[in-house]
C-alpha cells in the first residue's frame, strides 16, 4: 500500500472514532484520537497482535475500544493523555516561540509593506498618501499605538520627519525593493527610539504602554499562581504515594481499593507538576531578562540625555545607534509581554485536566485512606536516605557516579525523570523520587537513580529485566510514555520505505482494507502529520 493510501486508512479510522464521540456529545481532536489509538493498540490486554494483519474486525474492535475510553469521564488516565496532547499542541520552547512570533508579525505586515515598496507615486497627492502609509507602517511595526489615532499619528509623523523628510521620498522610490524594505525597517527603529525617548522626557509617548511596569506586575502574579498550583499538585502526589505504599504492604487492601485508579491519579498530578515546572522555568527566565532589560533601558535613556542635553544639533552618528538600541530593547519587552501572557493562559488551561481527583477521591475518602499513614514529601524522602550510599567495592562491572567524583553531576539526564526505576518496576508503577546522593548507575550510556540503596543493588543485578518491566507497564498506561520520557523504547527501526510493503488495497464502498503489519500501522500513526494550533496562535 502506498504511503498516501496508508495515511488515508488511518485518517478514516480517526475520523470514524471522532464521529462516534461527537454523536455522544464529546468533541475530540484528531491528535487526541491518534494518541488514543496508539494507546489501545499498545496495551497487550486488548489483544492486538503486532505480527498479525489488522483486518476489518480488528478495526471495528479498535474503534469501539477507543470510543469507550474517550467517553470515560471518570478516568485520570484519559485526563493525563488529554493534558499531554494539549500541552504538546500549545507549548514550545522560548526560542521557537519567539521565532514564530516574529515570523507571524512579519507576515501580518506583508501587505502594508508591499503597498509601499511597489508604489510608483509621482504626483504630490500620491507622495503625501505614500508618506502616510509609511507612518502607518512604522506604527504597525513598532506596536506603539494605533495608526487610526490622530494624536499618535501626528507624533509618529513628527518623529519620522526629523529623520526622513517627505522630500526624500523621491530618492526612496528609486531604490531596489530589498533596499526599500531595509530602509523602512531602519526608519521604523529610529522612529520608535525617538518616541520612547520623548516619552521619557515627558514630551510624547501617546499610546505607549509602560511595558516594564506591566511585566513587573504580571510576572510575580503568574509565578505566584504557578507556585500555588504546584503546591496543590505536590500535596496530592505525596498523599497518593503514601496510600499506595500502604497498599503495597497490604495486599488485602489492594483488593478492596482500586489501586490502579490511585496510580493513574498519581500519574495525572505528577504530569501536571512537570508541566508547571516547565512553565515556571520559562517564567523565571522572563523575569531575569526583564530585570536586565530594565537596567539597559535606563542606561540608554540616560546616555541619550547626556548626549543631547541642551544642544540644538547632535550628530546622527551619536544618537541614531542609541535610538536603534532603544527600539530593539522595546521589541524585547513586547516579546516578554506576549510570552508571559501565553504562559499564563497555558497554566490556566492545564487546570481543566484535574477534574477526576475530587470526583474519585473526595477529601472524606482521602482522610479515611490516610488513617495511620505518614505522608512524606519528596525532599523528606531524599533526606531519609542521604547516607545510604552505594559501596563501589560491591560492584566490579557496573559504573556508579557520585557528586564529588563526577563533573556536572546535577546536569546528568536521569532516566524516568528521576523516579526510582526499581520501585516502579517491582510495584507495578509506584513513583518514588530517586536520590542521586545514593549513587547514579550508568548502564549502556544511560543514568538511573534509586530511592534506597537496596533498590539500587537489586536493580544493578539485572537492569534489563527491570527496564523491560517498565516498558511493559507503559504499554498498559500510555500516558507513562511521555510522563517518564520513554519515547525511545517505542521507536521502531523499520525504515519508511517498508511502508511500501503494505498491501495495495483501494478504499472503496467504505470497506476497510487490510493493513499488513500492525507495527507498520503504528509507525504511520506516529508520523502522521496533524495540524496543531501552535503556541499562542490561531
pTM for this one?
0.87
pLDDT given at position 487: 84
Determine the distance from the C-alpha atom of residue 242 to the mean position of all C-alpha atoms in its chain, rounded to a whole number. Answer: 30
Place of cell 550508568: 442
SS3 315: coil
Radius of gyration of the chain (CA): 30
Residues 6+ away with beta carbon under 8 Å from 113: 137, 181, 184
Alpha helices, DSSP H, located in 43-123: 56-70, 76-90, 94-117
- Pick the closest to residue 535 from 306, 310, 327, 279 (CA basis): 279
Residue 447 has phi, psi (to 5 degrees) of -120, 135
For 164, the grid coordinates are 526622513
C-alpha cell belonging to residue 119: 508604489
Residue owning grid cell 557496573:
398
Chain position carrying cell 523621491 = 170
Cβ atoms 326, 297 nearer than 8 A:
yes
Rounded to the nearest 5 percent, the helix, strand and coil shares of the chain are 70, 5, 25
Which is it for the CA torsion 465, 466, 471, 477, positive or negative? Answer: positive
- The pLDDT, as a whole number, for residue 313 is 74
Q: Across the chain, how many H-helices and E-strands are there?
A: 21, 3
According to the model, what pLDDT value does residue 143 have?
94
| Structural element, H or E, at residue 248 | helix 211-249
Instruction: Give the pLDDT of residue 500.
Output: 39
Spatial distance between the Cα atoms of 305 and 20, rounded to a whole number of angstroms = 68
Please report the sign of the dihedral spanned by the C-alpha atoms of residue 183, residue 185, residue 191, residue 193.
negative
Q: What's the start-to-end Cα distance of the chain, in Å?
A: 35
Distance CA 195, CA 54 (A): 66
pLDDT at 507: 36
Q: What is the DSSP string of 17-47?
A: HHHHHHHTT----HHHHHHHHHHHHH-GGG-
* Cβ contact 329:211 at 8 Å: no
**Core vs surface per residue 20-57: b (16+ CB within 10 A) or e:** bbeeeeeebbbbbbbbbbbbbbbbeeeebeeeeebeee
Spatial CA neighbour of 165 closest among 128, 192, 115, 117: 128
pLDDT of residue 53: 67
Q: Is 157 helix (H, G, I), strand (E, B) or coil?
A: helix
The answer to whether 226 touches 252, Cβ cutoff 8 Å, is no
pLDDT tens digit at each of 538 positions of the chain:
555 555 677 788 899 999 999 999 999 998 899 889 888 988 888 888 766 666 788 889 999 999 999 999 888 999 999 999 999 999 999 999 999 999 999 999 999 999 999 999 889 999 999 999 999 999 999 999 999 999 999 999 999 999 999 999 999 999 999 999 999 999 999 999 999 999 999 998 889 999 999 999 999 999 999 999 999 999 999 999 999 998 888 877 766 677 788 999 999 999 999 999 999 999 999 999 999 999 999 999 999 999 888 677 788 889 999 999 999 999 999 999 999 999 999 999 999 999 889 888 999 989 988 988 999 999 999 999 888 999 998 998 899 999 999 999 999 999 999 999 999 999 999 999 999 999 999 999 999 999 999 999 999 999 999 999 999 999 999 999 999 999 887 764 333 333 334 334 333 444 444 555 566 666 666 655 444 444 443 3
CB 512 within 8 A of CB 56: yes
From the CB of residue 487, how many other CB atoms can be counted at a distance below 10 Å? 10
Whether 250 and 259 have beta carbons less than 8 Å apart is answered as no
| Helix residue ranges per DSSP H, 430-494 | 453-461, 463-476, 479-483
Going by the DSSP 8-state scheme, the letter that residue 393 receives in this structure is G
Give the C-alpha separation, 439 to 391, whole Å.
9
d(CA 392, CA 386): 16
In terms of phi and psi (left: phi > 0; alpha: psi -120 to 50; beta: otherwise), the region of 176 is beta
Distance CA 8, CA 31 (A): 15
3-state secondary structure 203-215: CCCCCCCCHHHHH
Amino acid at each position: 500500500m502506498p504511503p498516501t493510501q496508508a495515511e488515508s486508512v488511518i485518517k478514516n479510522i480517526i475520523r470514524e472514532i471522532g464521529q462516534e464521540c461527537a454523536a455522544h456529545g464529546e468533541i475530540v481532536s484528531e491528535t487526541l484520537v491518534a494518541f488514543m489509538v496508539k494507546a489501545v493498540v499498545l496495551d497487550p490486554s486488548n489483544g492486538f497482535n503486532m505480527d498479525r494483519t489488522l483486518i476489518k474486525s480488528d478495526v471495528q474492535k479498535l474503534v469501539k475500544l477507543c470510543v469507550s475510553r474517550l467517553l470515560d469521564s471518570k478516568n485520570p488516565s484519559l485526563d493525563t493523555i488529554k493534558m499531554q496532547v494539549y500541552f504538546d499542541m500549545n507549548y514550545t520552547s522560548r526560542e521557537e516561540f519567539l521565532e514564530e512570533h516574529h515570523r507571524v508579525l512579519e507576515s501580518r505586515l506583508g501587505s502594508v509593506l508591499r503597498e509601499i515598496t511597489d508604489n510608483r507615486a509621482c504626483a504630490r497627492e500620491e507622495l503625501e498618501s505614500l508618506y502616510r502609509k509609511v507612518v502607518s507602517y512604522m506604527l504597525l511595526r513598532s506596536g506603539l499605538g494605533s495608526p487610526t489615532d490622530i494624536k499618535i499619528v501626528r507624533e509618529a509623523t513628527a518623529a519620522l520627519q526629523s529623520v526622513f523628510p517627505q522630500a526624500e521620498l523621491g530618492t526612496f522610490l528609486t531604490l531596489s525593493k530589498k533596499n526599500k524594505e531595509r530602509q523602512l525597517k531602519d526608519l521604523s527603529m529610529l522612529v520608535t527610539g525617538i518616541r520612547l525617548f520623548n516619552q521619557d522626557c515627558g514630551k510624547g509617548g501617546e499610546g505607549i504602554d509602560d511595558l516594564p511596569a506591566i511585566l513587573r506586575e504580571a510576572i510575580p502574579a503568574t509565578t505566584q499562581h504557578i507556585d500555588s498550583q504546584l503546591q496543590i499538585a505536590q500535596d496530592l502526589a505525596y498523599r497518593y504515594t503514601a496510600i499506595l505504599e500502604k497498599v503495597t504492604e497490604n495486599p488485602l487492601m489492594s483488593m478492596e481499593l482500586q489501586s490502579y485508579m490511585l496510580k493513574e491519579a498519581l500519574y495525572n498530578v505528577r504530569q501536571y507538576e512537570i508541566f508547571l515546572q516547565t512553565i515556571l522555568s520559562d517564567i523565571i527566565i522572563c523575569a531575569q531578562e526583564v530585570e536586565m532589560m530594565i537596567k539597559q533601558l535606563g542606561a540608554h535613556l540616560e546616555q541619550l540625555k547626556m548626549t543631547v542635553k541642551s544642544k540644538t544639533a547632535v550628530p546622527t552618528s551619536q544618537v541614531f545607534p542609541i535610538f536603534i538600541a532603544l527600539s530593539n530593547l522595546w521589541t524585547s519587552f513586547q516579546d516578554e509581554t506576549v510570552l508571559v501572557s501565553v504562559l499564563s493562559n497555558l497554566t490556566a488551561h492545564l487546570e481543566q485536566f484535574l477534574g477526576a481527583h475530587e470526583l474519585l477521591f473526595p477529601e472524606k475518602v482521602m482522610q479515611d485512606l490516610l488513617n495511620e499513614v505518614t505522608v512524606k514529601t519528596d525532599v523528606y524522602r531524599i533526606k531519609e536516605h542521604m547516607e545510604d550510599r552505594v559501596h563501589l567495592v560491591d560492584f566490579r562491572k557496573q559504573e556508579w557516579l557520585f557528586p564529588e567524583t563526577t563533573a556536572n553531576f546535577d546536569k546528568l539526564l536521569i532516566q524516568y525523570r528521576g523516579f526510582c526505576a526499581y520501585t516502579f518496576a517491582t510495584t507495578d508503577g509506584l513513583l518514588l523520587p530517586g536520590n542521586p546522593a545514593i549513587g547514579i548507575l550508568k548502564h549502556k550510556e544511560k543514568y538511573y537513580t534509586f530511592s534506597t540503596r537496596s533498590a539500587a543493588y537489586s536493580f544493578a543485578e539485572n537492569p534489563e529485566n527491570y527496564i523491560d518491566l517498565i516498558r511493559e507497564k507503559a504499554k498498559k498506561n500510555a500516558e507513562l510514555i511521555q510522563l517518564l520520557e520513554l519515547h525511545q523504547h517505542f521507536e521502531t527501526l523499520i525504515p519508511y520505505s517498508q511502508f511500501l510493503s503494505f498491501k495495495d488495497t483501494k478504499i472503496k464502498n467504505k470497506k476497510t482494507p487490510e493493513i499488513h503489519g500492525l507495527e507498520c500501522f503504528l509507525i504511520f500513526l506516529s508520523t502522521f502529520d496533524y495540524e496543531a494550533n501552535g503556541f499562542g496562535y490561531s
